[in-house]
Structure 1
């Protein structure tokens, strides 16, 4: 019986959908990421602050590059294949191996909102999680007033598990957080593993 490699992220995987390539960030992607990370319309729903300079984005890149080097869980760049440009990132922001659970996180350039790109990327990453990371459960959460992100989670077939009232203190205010989750058995019913 063939055994799986101990470290799934060394080398860092590359995943592909019809329109997208999910891969590690490259230094050449810096300006693409800064373009959306510096947009307050994007950062209003994120835990991180709006990037004020390209140096803020470089700091994020440096952290990601270190994780790639160590073979750790790290962000996937979302490359729009027809242009070769990076339009967002998606990743498992944490992974509890002992509980076979991970949390999905994502961000996308506003000009690509509403085109089904995050559900497309997230379905591919969920398949990777269930098939290769041996996940039983994938969680995602967002601020309770983030209707766009809630729609993404519902398109993924995730179930709403509740609202955690006052869960996060972010950027000077207390925020309610909605929790969604998808179990492996639910994914197997709706997605043909490939």
Structure 2
């Protein structure tokens, strides 16, 4: 049985934990990113009020039944540096979907790979989850390399799979199974 709370998951350099209002600055740090606000609910305004509203939405994800929203925090300082989620809309079919982003200052250091590995290890301990899915734009090599490093396999290219901004975009579909 999957838990009814957002746990804290630890690894060497990252901690996955529930979002807190004091994490709003990391949301503000990605508000002007060219991609993150287009494919997530991160606001483009960059205001503290809007960043705190994003945090509150993440805090409510489990209660609304959509899944587990984690802040990715640095293990040594507990400073939030990104977001990772385990979305359980298809749990009745044995599937969960993952999504993530990191603030620009924390990219290209292996932190995302470490966070993804920790979340996958935890998620696959639950009998209800037999498959984890990821959808990644073909150009996003950093993201799909992190997925592959964590045992995900590319299963194919989905044409016009997801609207990003005003355009339908192709996505690679990746899966990791038990």
Please report the TM-score for the alignment, with normalisation by the length of structure 2: 0.88
Residue 4 of structure 2: aligned partner: 9
Residue correspondences, number = 177
In the other structure, the counterpart of 1:159 is: 153
Aligned equivalents of 1:143 and 1:81: distance in 2? 29
Match status 1:92 vs 2:89: no
- Give the corresponding residue for 1:82: 76
Query: What do the CA deviations read for 1:111-153 (whole angstroms, capped 9, x no partner)?
Result: 2211111111111111111103631110101122211111111
Deviation at 1:154, TM superposition (A): 1.1
Match status 1:169 vs 2:163: yes
TM-superposed deviation, 1:163: 0.7
Report what 1:43 is aligned to: 36
- State whether residues 168 and 174 of structure 1, in contact with CA within 8 Å, keep that contact through their aligned partners in structure 2: yes
Paired residue for 1:136, among 125, 130, 134? 130
Larger Rg: 1
- Cα 1:72–1:35 change in 2 (3 A) is same
CA distance in 2, matches of 1:48, 1:166: 20
Cα distance in 1 for partners of 2:42, 2:131 equals 29
Shift of 1:181: 0.3
Of residues 173-182 and 27-36 in structure 1, the stretch that sits farther from structure 2 once superposed is 27-36
- Give the alignment partner of residue 28 of structure 2, picking from 11, 29, 34: 34
Deviates most, 66-75 or 170-179 = 66-75
Change (3 A) 1:54 1:135: same
- Asked if the contact 1:25/1:61 (under 8 Å) is kept, the reply is yes
RMSD of Structure 2 on Structure 1 (CA) = 2.2
Classify 1:116/1:168 alpha carbon distance in 2 versus 1 (closer, same or farther; 3 Å): same
Would you tell me which structure has more helix in proportion to its own residues? 1
Structure 2: runs of 5 or more not aligned = none
Gaps of 5+ in 1: 185-194
Per-residue deviation, 1:61:
1.6
Q: 1:59 to 1:156 in 2, by over 3 A?
A: same
**Alpha carbons of structure 1 residues 114 and 45: separation in structure 2 relative to 1, 3 Å:** farther
TM-score (norm 1): 0.81
Q: Tell me the residue number matched to 1:109.
A: 103
CA separation of 1:50/1:133 partners in 2, compared to 1, >3 Å: closer, same or farther? farther
Counterpart contact for 2:14–2:73, Cα < 8 Å: yes
